Chain A
């Protein structure tokens, strides 16, 4: 090939960049119009949902005033309603879920990316991705019929031995010395709902983490090993620092999902309208479960109150999701190119 120079000089005049003008022909103009209108329709629908939620929800928020954030009860028809209990209930469930989902998905992601035999890897990746697609009602069924009875002894043990020192595990009305105490006081609790939601979000979280771990640069991996690092040394010095964005982003995305989870929580939990920080005790609540519980035969004002609760949930999820996608995107920048 001819050697090329960046700049062609003819007769002492250098040939700089020229301005290009393009003429759009008719089919192209039509296509642009169609594509743009497609985008406009989507944006209109999405904004409509947001606006509708905002307007209808705002009606209720305006009526309730600041009590909307403080009040625990939910009785819109008598004007006494607030999201304090349900919102905190949602947060408790989500935190329990993340407490379990984070180590599980982190370990699974690291195992698939670093430890699993090469031949097993595609199968494991497919399995985890498939589990992320399994409907939440299936997890709800499993949690309600299989996990609940299994977890009661564990709850009882935690309440007996850890409860006295760690307030969230304390259970009012449970006396460990009473031989006739029934374990039903531990059923339908935030703890059980949290575990089920944890299993539901763990696949997606682990999938994101694994993707980022697998992108950790080969040169640095092998460099660490060549310098005599053990596998764990290599993981802590190369893979985890490189995948930090994925860990945080994946966890936040899982948190966002667990905040919005409805059916599994609705099936398992027995709804109460007080702030219930004792996660082992029967009863809890979440915003989405509240909507599923109360939407039916609701008056127009009740619906607007539910909309307000939904709006609060939406805003929190939005903030968390945006944070997550920013962090994941930043951690991947520079590693993918054309």
Chain B
């Protein structure tokens, strides 16, 4: 609590600068420039690592693994009529656990044996899942390399559509540019519909709690359970009912129906994490609800909201089933979302691999790799933006804030002393200050 009472100019650096500038050091009790990054008192305690690796455990692990493989090989190749790689792995894993348990039980008590066995099982379960997931990505990528132009590069895969490529044409003809365009158009329309509506609804849910918003929240939560194919079927039924045709816009609507609840729900969670002390501070300063939302709540939660939208986009891009029902697959470019069928990356993948032609299957894998790359890029962007919780600033943002409040401080002091306030700094001027000057100058709002 002491640092609140302490005045800023007691900090050595400020006094020093004042002396350099020859400015009379005004002691304004109203402003306080924060120069350090505070650690909140309620920061979670860090978990200490209690992990220890004993050499005897490692020796037991290696020993039992070797013994298990040896015994299984003997069983498979000499003793029993067993075969198959999967069976070999499973049987040797079983022996490995058995041997490891017995080895440990020679020296340790029962809780320790259980602990070591559990540790081994948990490690292998995690390894198995991660291995399977890696194999999904690696297998798809490897099979998709050829149409993507590796090792022999054909740019056509990224530049052409499939209208000129016959079923027997090689991979040097045709491409999926039409699907990329289609995906981009669909997701843009879906985002235009989803983002304002979704964030507005989330704001409504957090800012105006009441019976109606509770009802809205329940409905939204219910709709996250809607299977994506049913969302597609809904739009398809409307198309059929009103005699419309399948189009990119219809697919975008189906994606919106699927994405909207996801975005609302995650934006709602993010907005609820905004500390109420910040909002109450804004209210105490006399801000109205909408100013509080616009200047406090949304900027504080910006990174979280962006993450919510981007992860929703990743889901929307990858969804096949609603697009399958509503877009209608094509093999040519269609830039108009309102007329004619349009295709998307997952849908093109799907149509490619249903074909018996090997080149088409290869193209399917290539399209899947393009789709995965798109999702991974979106995901990385989301991570880069949304790594921090609401209100946590990066070092650069922290510096910017400090600088801003320092300028305010000078303005107040200048007014108090009756001297001309410093001029507002143009963006260009600010940019110039960011570039280090050859002569060492202090950056203050006075120069």
Contacts and interface: CB of A to CB of B under 8 A. Distances in A.
B238 to A, nearest CB: 8
Contacts of A148: none
A35 B200 contact: yes
Nearest to B294: A31
A225 B50 contact: yes
A230 B114 CA distance: 9
Nearest to A316: B225
A136 to B, nearest CB: 7
B288 interface: yes
Contacts of A206: 129
Contacts of A222: 48
A317 interface: yes
Contacts of B364: 141
A32 B291 CA distance: 12
Contacts of B50: 225, 231
A141 B349 contact: yes
Contacts of A106: 125
Interface stretch (A75-83, A276-284, A303-311): A303-311
A49 B129 contact: no
Given A35-B200, A138-B140, A153-B84, A43 B216 contact: yes
A262 B228 CA distance: 8
B346 A46 contact: no
A2 interface: no
Interface in B179-208: 196-198, 200-201, 203-205, 207-208
Interface residues of A, number: 99
B87 interface: yes
A89 interface: no
B90 to A, nearest CB: 8
B123 A199 contact: no
B116 to A, nearest CB: 8
A271 to B, nearest CB: 14
A313 interface: yes
Nearest to A313: B227
Interface in A293-312: 295, 300, 303, 306-307, 310
Given A137-B350, A141-B365, A263-B321, A130 B379 contact: yes
Interface string B226-237: 111111011011
Contacts of B45: 218
B320 A231 contact: no
A321 B220 CA distance: 12
Given A32-B289, A49-B223, A314 B230 contact: yes
B246 to A, nearest CB: 10
Q: Quick one: which of A39, A53, A256, A310 has the most chain B CB within 10 A?
A: A39
Interface string B345-383: 010011001000000010011001001100110110001
A327 to B, nearest CB: 14
A238 interface: no
B133 A199 contact: yes
B135 A142 contact: yes
Nearest to A222: B48
Given A134-B375, A141-B140, A218-B45, A310 B261 contact: no
Interface in B97-137: 111-112, 114-115, 118-119, 121-126, 128-130, 132-133, 135-137
Contacts, number: 280
Interface in A2-54: 25, 27-28, 30-32, 34-36, 38-43, 45-47, 49-50, 52-53
Main secondary structure of the interface of A (DSSP, over half): helix
A208 interface: no
B277 interface: yes
A173 to B, nearest CB: 22
Given A130-B379, A313-B230, A47 B219 contact: yes
A134 B115 contact: no
Given A288-B229, A288-B321, A313-B230, A28 B290 contact: yes
B237 A52 contact: yes
Nearest to A116: B126
A49 B140 CA distance: 35
Nearest to B210: A36
Interface string B306-326: 000001001101111100110
A295 B115 contact: no
B47 interface: yes
Nearest to B52: A231
A107 B129 contact: yes
Q: Quick one: which of B111, B126, B293 has the most chain A CB within 10 A?
A: B126
A211 to B, nearest CB: 12
A31 B293 CA distance: 10
Contacts of A166: none
A62 interface: no
Contacts of B240: 300, 303
Given A27-B290, A38-B201, A317 B233 contact: no
A45 to B, nearest CB: 7
B133 A27 contact: no
Contact of B220 (A46, A260, A300): A46
Given A133-B318, A263-B320, A263-B350, A43 B227 contact: no
Contacts of A134: 136-137, 318, 372, 375
Interface string A121-164: 00010111111011111110110111000100110010000000
Given A25-B288, A43-B219, A313-B230, A135 B379 contact: no
Given A46-B260, A199-B129, 16 more contacts: A36-B212, A41-B201, A42-B220, A46-B222, A46-B223, A53-B234, A107-B129, A133-B311, A141-B368, A154-B86, A231-B119, A232-B118, A260-B225, A260-B227, A262-B228, A313-B230
Interface of A: 1, 25, 27-28, 30-32, 34-36, 38-43, 45-47, 49-50, 52-53, 56, 103-108, 110-112, 114-118, 124, 126-131, 133-139, 141-142, 144-146, 150, 153-154, 157, 199, 202-203, 206, 218, 221-222, 225, 229-233, 235, 256, 259-260, 262-263, 267, 288, 291-292, 295, 300, 303, 306-307, 310, 313-314, 317-318, 320-322, 325, 338
15 contacts: A34-B200, A35-B204, A42-B197, A104-B128, A104-B132, A107-B129, A137-B368, A141-B365, A150-B86, A230-B115, A260-B228, A263-B320, A291-B325, A314-B227, A317-B225
Q: Across the A-B interface, give the 8 residue pairs with the lowest CB-CB distance, nearest first.
A: A107-B125, A135-B318, A260-B227, A38-B200, A111-B126, A31-B290, A230-B115, A321-B225
Interface of B: 1, 45, 47-51, 84, 86-87, 111-112, 114-115, 118-119, 121-126, 128-130, 132-133, 135-137, 139-140, 143, 196-198, 200-201, 203-205, 207-208, 212-213, 215-216, 219-231, 233-234, 236-238, 240, 257, 260-261, 264, 275-277, 288-290, 293, 311, 314-315, 317-321, 324-325, 346, 349-350, 353, 361, 364-365, 368, 371-372, 375-376, 378-379, 383
